[in-house]
């Protein structure tokens, strides 16, 4: 299992990285991620749904997005280079590259969190070399 050092996590997720924002009538937790390690390029996407390859888990062990909560996939989005990708167009992410010091945004339907609350989010990515890390934050 791979992990990401806390020093990088603090740079990846700044103090205002977790915001509540409405988009197309849906209230989202908008997570802004700063790419501080190395360029990320989508070289291929899974044959099955990408939803089967990650989980976002809150401090109460509730899966708020990912494999453990399939209904959220209908509204889940990732934004890179100013374009939003969802369950309908995720295959077009092949070739998209987020350079070092650029940002990408993860849009998760708000699980009921409020501005000012403190939360813990565990990220699990299921791949050949699984990655798991957690971050504590205040919703802004």
Domain total in the chain = 1
Pairing of strands 26-34, 18-23: antiparallel
Q: Return all residues near 106 (Cβ < 8 A) that are at least 6 apart.
A: 30, 31, 33, 77, 78, 79
Assess if residue 42 is contained within a domain: yes
Q: What is the pLDDT of residue 3?
A: 72
Per residue in 82-101, pLDDT tens?
Answer: 999 999 999 999 999 999 99
Assess if residue 1 is contained within a domain: no
pLDDT greater than 70 at residue 1: no
Assess if residue 101 is contained within a domain: yes
List the Cα angle 20/99/138 in 5-degree steps. Answer: 25
Residue-number span of the structural domain to which 97 is assigned: 6-138
Per residue in 4-39, pLDDT tens?
Answer: 888 999 999 999 999 999 999 999 999 999 999 899
pTM (predicted TM-score): 0.93
Query: Contact 51/76 with Cβ under 8 angstroms?
Result: yes
β-strand partners of 35 = none
Q: How confident is the model at residue 61 (pLDDT cuts 50, 70, 90)?
A: very high
Q: Which tokens is 112 given?
A: 């009921």
């Amino acid at each position: 299992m791979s992990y990401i050092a806390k020093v990088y996590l603090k740079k990846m997720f700044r103090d205002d990285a977790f915001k509540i924002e409405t988009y197309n009538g849906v209230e989202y937790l908008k997570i802004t991620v700063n790419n501080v390690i190395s360029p990320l390029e989508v070289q291929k996407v899974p044959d099955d749904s990408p939803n089967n390859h990650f989980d976002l888990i809150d401090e109460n062990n509730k899966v708020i997005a990912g494999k453990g909560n399939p209904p959220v996939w209908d509204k889940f989005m990732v934004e890179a280079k100013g374009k939003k990708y969802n369950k309908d167009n995720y295959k077009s992410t092949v070739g998209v590259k987020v350079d070092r010091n650029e940002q990408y945004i993860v849009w998760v339907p708000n699980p009921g969190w409020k501005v000012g609350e403190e939360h813990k989010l565990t990220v699990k990515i299921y791949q050949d070399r699984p990655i798991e890390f957690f971050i504590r934050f205040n919703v802004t």
